Structure 1
Amino acid sequence: MYASDAVEMQSIEAGQIGVIVGLKQARTGDTLISVAGMNPGRGPPAPLNTLQLRPIDVPPPVFFTSVEPNSLSEEKNVYDTLNLLLREDPSLHLAQDPESGQTHLSGMGELHLEIARDRLIQDFKAKATIGKIEIGYREHLLGVSPTITEKVDREIAGKITRASCTIAVTPLDDTASELPKINENHAQRLYMPDNNVLTILHPSLTVRGKAAEADGSSLPPHLTMPSIISAFKDGVSAGLARGPQYSYPMHSTHITIHLDPTTQILPETSPTALSTAARLAMQKALRSARETAGTVMMEPVMMVNISVLEDDLGAVVHDISSARGGQVLSLDTDDTLPGTAANATSHTEDEDTPIIDPRRIYVPPDPFGSGLSGSYSGTQYSLPSTQQRKVVARVPLKEMVGYLKYLRALTGGRGTFVMAVDRFERMGSQRMKAVIVELRGG
């Protein structure tokens, strides 16, 4: 290739760069192998069939944005175009957020995603909108609810169904370790997502294996204990999906169901009726607990690893701890250089390891540095003041959206970071008010 001019070649030698057009299945990072006389159905012969080449090392994404088609008719075209971009650029990632329903496009930085957006909209003419990411908050109870009983007596699918469910909800702390142990013959405990726990108490119902007996008589033939537990779980899950105050999913809630088969399991009872009764009782219990003690919002907190030069360490730590409300956990340095005192022991233990004299290693000066360079004092190498430092911190996800451009501004473009979800934490009153105002468009 010469700019926009292409010269057709029959072959290219090692070290040359060429362009192959028309490939629809290959993507960046694939290795193409051509063997004379190879049968496509049988694959490449040995030893090519066991050939493994090191893949491209793609760093994890650090910048995220959302991509939304302008209409349902454009959805397929937008996703096909996004998949084409991912084939060409393996550093782009596409994920679907099950909570908000948004499609998240992630990459190596803001400029990286701007180029992908321009290609998506201008080059491929995709009709989509690039927007902000919605944070998946949670809701947490601050008090307990009274015992709530809800009854269902209605016609479902042409049949009269009757059922009732008795529920009480209490808030949990960080883990469910404080819950008391249960007798597995007279109770069932299910651990649900978002640290929610469901306990079903049935003292008059004895479970032995898969069979259940109540007061000497078995359950109705159309109901089994696994179907009853599954129905209660579905109903409780539906009730936990929307909080009573902010409509976010519930987090760290203990739900207790008191099951009395003599009054709640009737001949007209069906799994659908039990699920409906559990959902109605769950929603009423949550509203009752909110009226008594209220609720609080919880937000995802990220575990962030930031690599910066030592000269920029103070500004980065101050920004994390003060401006973004984060918590700095540790400040570490990179591995020491070979030949320093930290590696002297390994040289003495292994006589076959060559000893590298750092005085014979040429280190070019950094044209963008502060003018300070490494100096030698006898046989001891003094590290420069601009050595790499690693900051480990826990920061709310909301404060990390778009953080890369601020980090580069603080570090002169030489700071990098990676992050992963750590846990959900309660929000302070002032921070929660600011988030609510922002969500309402204030």
Structure 2
Amino acid sequence: MVKERNVIPIVLGSSYKNIGIQSLMDAVILYLPSPNDRSKLFSSFEDHFCGRAFKVKHDKRRGGPLTFVRLYNGTVKKGQKIFNITRRESDQIGRIYVAYADDFREVDTVENGNIAVLAGLKKTMSGDLLTTSQTAYDKAKKITSKNLNMSHTTADADNLFGISAKIPEPVFFCSIEPPSTASQQALDQALIELQREDPSLRVTYNLETGQTVLAGMGELHLEIIRDRILKEYKIDADLGPLQIAYRETPLVKVEDSLRVDTKIGNVKNSVLVRLSIIPVEDTVISHENILKFDKLPDNASNIASIFPKHMQAIRQGIDVGLNQGPKIGCQIINVHVMLHWLEVGRGTSETIISSTVTQLIRKLLTEAGTCILEPVMSLEVVCPSEHFSAILADLSRRRTSINNITHRGKNKVLDHLLMCITLFS
């Protein structure tokens, strides 16, 4: 009945006071369906192991990161080699544990429907999907496509298995400094480990200022990271002023070409590239779909002859070029870059190709002009009617855009958009 949602179990308690925790755990076993009773999607892996990493915890006593994995199919074994579908990389399991609160009991195998704690994985992060090999995943994709009577494409399978799920771009960022130069290496290692546990945390190094920059989903998110660094790594790091992650977007379509002829040592490097930037309104474009190709017969023939290593250099050049806009140096979004033509001289390095593409992208952005985009938040405020005027006045000072005002019982409900920068504490 619970599975059909005819009955909803309710358990009351307090984790802080350790009341009702045992009842909650018993209720999970008694009332909730087994993982094996849910979606049969992962049965397409047949006898192969398949599971998703949902948590990474660093444990110095057990030699480093412990990866918590939900087993959807098959059996995972101690010392087994696995394939990380999300990152397209191989990894190897060391020891396997089963967690009982803070107690970890070592086992040799764990079967599907359970949670395994895997030690020794060096590349796996939270959210990654794991299996035994690339071959096992390719076979599972074909079986899934056949069972669902759909055309078999990589994108279809990746969407079904949750491979293509993207983490939202950070909205807030600030600098972080160690208390002393001697603590810099320890802070860097702490940030590496925290990024692995929390993929929504981004850490970059600003070459111009020499600062380490944290980017996260909100003010509270970054404060929690700082508290964890203090409590878990004993580093009293300082956070700089919180800033908003503005973005830029081009105003009009622009097309141009650039030729670079240079000599490095005794090697002559020559590149001719023609690109256009195309603004796209109100559409989130994934990183993989930014680059488009001209389909005119002559241009398409030229593009088809481009070597894979040169194409990779083009993509790298585009990434660098779109990283800083001409107006305030923010990342460029909502844009397609179309490749029309490429000529590369013999012996020309990939670095020269990337550099040429970057120069052309920045030239095109300057010609097109950009506008600044500011992040906003959808907010709902519920308040008694007698306080409505005061709250409305406060929101007006924060540049709010009111979408709707409704009643909920004796309260008024404000549905509006608010500039994120006005929410700083």
Q: TM range, normalised to the smaller chain?
A: 0.3 to 0.5
Of Structure 1 and Structure 2, which has the larger fraction of its residues in strand?
2
More contact order relative to length (CA 8 Å, sep ≥ 6) = 1
TM-score (norm 1): 0.46
Larger radius of gyration: 1
> What is the TM-score normalised by the length of structure 2?
0.48
